[in-house]
A and B are shown apart, each in its own frame.
Chain A
Amino acid sequence: MIVAQRKGIEEVKKMVEGKSRILIAGCGTCVAVCMAGGEREVSILASMLRMAVKLESGRDIEVAEITMERQCDREFIEPFDKQMRGYEAVISTACGIGIQFLADFLGDIPVVPGVNTKFLGSNEGGGTWFERCRACGECVLGETGGICPITICAKNLLNGPCGGTNKGKCEVDKDKDCAWTLIYRRLEKLGALDNIRKIFPPKNYHAQTHPSRMIHEAYQKEEKK
């Protein structure tokens, strides 16, 4: 899932300064699960914004709230089209994808972010999320025991640990595991250490040229196949 973090109220307030009719648009998927931009967080942000503006300037502003199931998909945005028009600004608490998609959809209404999008990660429980994938476009997990050296190793090393590995932890952060210790131990258990004895060539970063675009093969035109 995509993991995001709420922006501070001061930053959000500044982005909509002077506006009197504001809509906060949440997203019910990833950002709802990581408690950054779902229905509940939309409601909290709306109350905070109303209060902050009132306290600062004495003004009463209108802050409306909606939450759509997925802000990165036209099918889920369209039903809200009419409801979203007429506002002076929209604060989207979706991830960076949803924010941009909604901004494109609305066109002439400014859309500003209510969250910072952090990474692609897993729910580790207890309010903790952990990055698991950098979307590099060239997956090596089959060789590294299902542990990603590109993501979990801070230096994206493909051929083993650096000199900063320390009792199984990473030099960058003592609370983080060294990816290469994890990979070694996992492959040892799987009897597959030969997987990493070979020399991995330099990574093909062309596999993730930005902005990336993909057309599903079933949708590709006949002549392009």
Chain B
Amino acid sequence: MTSRLKQAFASGKFVVSGEVGPPKGTNIEEMLQHIDLLKDKVDALNVTDNQSSVMRISSLAVCKLIREHGGEPILQLTCRDRNRLALQSELLSASILGVNNVLCLTGDYITIGDHTEAKPVFDLDSVQLIQALRQMEKGKDLAGNDLQGAPQFFAGAVVTPEADPIEPQLLKFEKKVKVGAEFFQTQAIYDIGNFKKFMQYARQFKVKIMAGIVLLTSAGMGRYMNQNVPGIFVPQELIDEMAGAPKGKALEKGIEIAGRMIRQLKDENICDGVHIMAIGKEAVIPDILSAAGLNGA
């Protein structure tokens, strides 16, 4: 197994990943443009798995396309839509397609998406999914049966440094580490001071941590996330800074803020990399990297 993402971490560089959201429907032109634009600028590209419980093209299919276009995909795999048979089957499929990075997630609940009457699965949780993945690498499936050929993965998980309350979140984080998660992408962080405190704690574990960077596109978005998105805290001064941007320049301001944060995370060696989520604005990721002083992978 060659994971270019794992190699990037091993080289000691500050690792950057981006994100591709597969479309709903078979028109993939715009997505392919984003893939071609980003594949050489970042170390890896996450592909979301029916993001926000909205039905779309599968993560695995798009991961394969990224491979074909010369990029390094990270398969996001959630427990919402698949039982343990389907999850393990998906892992084997990923392996034979050369998709070697997997991000194991619980998944959003069904009712927040566009098929609210669907049956939620959640047969495994994210900890058990990582466990299953590690067991398959040893040649056994979850039921203890032998595999004819074992997959190898670079396995990741997520953590929410701003979770409130934080203790149950850290308990689960430690379980993910214990069962073999090698890298973590965090929920969006905006308060570097708070994040530093989380990293002081997280540094005791031998795992790579990528800070989640979500591009702010307006002051309202910051206020909305504070009100409505669990585990996200946007400090008032950032909201004020966004609000103070001249008319029509809010996106530029958001890019500047994201770039500034990434630069600080890297220069102060706070974490091992960043995962940039420019939801719907993937085309500006190169601008964020320039603002951060990073010239691409």
Interfacial residues, chain A to chain B (CB-CB below 8 A): 154-168, 171-172, 180-181, 183-184, 188, 193, 196-197, 199-203, 205
Cross-interface CB contact of A202 among B124, B160, B179, B187, cutoff 8 Å: B124
What is the CB-to-nearest-CB distance from B178 to chain A, in angstroms, rounded to a whole number?
7
Interface residues contributed by chain B, number (CB under 8 Å): 37
Whether B168 contacts A184 by the Cβ 8 Å rule is yes
> Would you give the shortest CB distance from A203 to chain B, in whole angstroms?
8
Report Cα–Cα, A164/B160, bound state, in Å. 9
Given contacts A155-B106, A181-B165, A184-B165, contact A163 B231 (CB under 8 A): yes
**B230 partner residues in chain A, CB cutoff 8 A:** 163-166, 171
Q: From B14-22, B108-116, B237-245, give the one contacting chain A.
A: B108-116
Given contacts A155-B120, A181-B168, A202-B84, contact A160 B175 (CB under 8 A): yes
| The residue from A163, A184, A200 contacting B106, defined by CB atoms under 8 A apart | A163
Residues of A within 8 A of B178 (CB): 199
B171 contacts chain A at the CB level, 8 A cutoff: yes
Q: Is B218 an interface residue (CB 8 A)?
A: no
Tell me whether B165 and A168 are in contact (CB under 8 A): yes
User: B residues within 8 A CB of A162?
Assistant: 106, 126
B113-163 residues at the A interface, CB under 8 angstroms: 120, 122-128, 131-132, 142, 158, 160, 163
Question: Once the chains bind, are A155 and B125 in contact (CB under 8 Å)?
Answer: yes
Sort A-B residue pairs by CB-CB distance and give the 4 closest, nearest first. A160-B172, A166-B230, A159-B127, A162-B106
- Residue B51, interface by CB 8 Å: no
Sample of 16 further A-B pairs with CB below 8 A, known A160-B168, A162-B106, A168-B164: A156-B122, A157-B125, A159-B127, A159-B128, A159-B172, A161-B169, A163-B187, A164-B108, A165-B230, A166-B231, A168-B165, A171-B112, A172-B109, A199-B128, A200-B128, A203-B123
Cα-based distance from A154 to B230 in the complex (angstroms): 15
- Tell me the dominant secondary structure on chain A's binding face: loop
Q: Which residues on the B side are within 8 Å of A155 (C-beta)?
A: 79-80, 106-107, 109, 120, 122, 125
Judged by a CB distance under 8 angstroms, whether B68 is at the interface is: no
- Give chain B residues whose Cβ lies under 8 Å from the Cβ of A163: 106, 158, 160, 163, 187, 230-231
Q: Is there contact, CB below 8 Å, between B164 and A172?
A: no
Q: Closest CB-CB distance, B157 to chain A, in whole Å? A: 11
How close is A106's CB to chain B, nearest CB, in angstroms?
32
Complex Cα gap A197–B167 (Å): 12
Tell me the B residues contacting A by CB distance below 8 Å. 79-80, 84, 106-109, 111-112, 120, 122-128, 131-132, 142, 158, 160, 163-165, 167-169, 171-172, 174-175, 178-179, 187, 230-231
Nearest A-chain residue to B109, judged by Cβ = A172
Q: Are B128 and A165 in contact (CB under 8 A)?
A: no
Instruction: For B187, give the chain A residue with the smallest CB separation.
Output: A163
| A180 contacts across to B, CB distance below 8 A | 168
Give the docked Cα–Cα distance between A203 and B171 (Å): 19
With CB as the reference atom, state the residue of chain B lying closest to A188: B167
Q: Which residues on A sit within 8 Å (CB–CB) of B120?
A: 154-155
CB neighbours (8 Å) of A154 from chain B are: 109, 120
Which residues of A have CB within 8 Å of B165?
A: 168, 181, 184
Contact between chains at A160 and B171 (CB < 8 Å): yes
Contact A165 B125 (CB under 8 A): no
How far apart are B49's CB and chain A's nearest CB, in angstroms?
14
Interchain nearest-CB distance for B226 vs A (Å): 11
In the complex, are the beta carbons of B171 and A196 less than 8 A apart?
Answer: yes
Q: Is the CB of B109 within 8 A of A171?
A: yes
Q: In whole angstroms, how far apart are the Cα atoms of A160 and B126 in the complex?
A: 10
B111 neighbours in A (Cβ, 8 Å) = 172
* Cross-interface CB contact of B172 among A161, A167, A181, cutoff 8 Å: A161
Q: Which chain B residues lie closer than 8 Å to A202 at the CB level? A: 84, 123-124, 128, 132, 142
How far, in angstroms, from A171 to B229 measured CA to CA in the complex?
Answer: 9
Contact check, B168 vs A165: say whether CB atoms are below 8 A apart: yes
A203–B80 Cα distance when bound, in Å, is 15
Asked whether, in the complex, the Cβ of B163 is within 8 Å of the Cβ of A184, the reply is no
In contact, A158 and B168 (Cβ under 8 angstroms) = no
Instruction: List residues of chain B with CB within 8 A of the CB of A193.
Output: 171
Cβ distance B227 to chain A, nearest Cβ, rounded Å:
10
User: Using Cβ atoms and an 8 Å threshold, which residues of chain B touch A184?
Assistant: 165, 167-168, 171
Q: Which residues of B contact A205 (CB under 8 A)?
A: 123
List chain A residues, Cβ under 8 A from B107: 155
The residues of A that contact B231 with a CB separation of less than 8 Å are 163, 165-166
